Amino acid sequence: MQLLISVTNVQEAQMALAHQVDIIDLKDPATGALGALSFEVINEVVQYVQKQTQYLKPSVSATIGDTPMLPEMLVEKVERLQTTGVDYIKIGFFATDDYQPCLNALQPITRAGAKMIAVLFAENTYQPGLIEAIQRAGFVGVMLDTSNKNGQTLFNYYSTLALKEFAEKVMKNGMMLGFAGSLKAQDVVKLKSYHPTYLGFRGGVCDHFQRQSSLNSENIRLVQNAMAFCCIKPTN
């Protein structure tokens, strides 16, 4: 189970690196659930992570922003984000009547090697078969997040059974599984049983647990301690 932390600038990336997080995620909390940072900032952070030699290099992900499900617009933003050298590109699946045109438009990019992660939102109801369609389009992962950043978490929208079924479906289709959405350290143990590839944090590792505040080293440490505790195997 890996740790993803969303950062907004090089200074926060430095803190994430110092804590040896697995995935540094680039996002602007002030501009939406999946708000995009400027390409200047994304480039700056990616280059900093690639050049640093003090720590093991984490993966870097970034979002294209709160973008409508319009095929041409998605392709344009994805192709531009590819030029920054991020490892993973996150795409929010916002409300639309039919996701297939978008998946069809993105499939040639995934076939060319781009690693995309579909971000589904716990508040939304999605058509049956969407996760399978995402897999066929070449996405490498699916993440369940919240779009309304009002303090409510996945557990306000998904029952234990619903989370289990979601996780099993993603993993059955051979994709990475991620959970996020106003998570805090105490949520780690609740999500462990679903065997996620990674857990994503922003507000839960910020000052006063406010996602638009700065990262807080002690809150990051609390999350890491919770994750480490979950990995301890009981002895006989």
CA 131 from chain center: how many Å?
Answer: 16
Give the residue among 144, 159, 152 at the shortest CA–CA distance from 184. Answer: 152
The verdict on whether 90 is a catalytic residue reads yes
The verdict on whether 27 is a catalytic residue reads yes
SS3 132: helix
Q: Give the active site residue among 27, 51, 57, 115.
A: 27
Q: Taking CA 231 as the corner, what is the angle to CA 228 and CA 235, rounded to the nearest 5 degrees?
A: 120
- Tokens linked to 127: 């058509």
**CA distances for 133 relative to 66, 107, 122, 172, 219, angstroms:** 21, 11, 18, 13, 37
Q: Give the active site residue among 57, 77, 90, 172.
A: 90
Measured torsion, CA atoms of residues 12, 17, 22, 27, in degrees rounded to the nearest 10: 20
Which residues fall within 8 angstroms of residue 197, CB to CB, at 6 or more apart? 1, 2, 141, 176, 177, 178
Q: Give the DSSP letter of residue 158.
A: -
The residues carrying an active-site annotation are: 27, 90
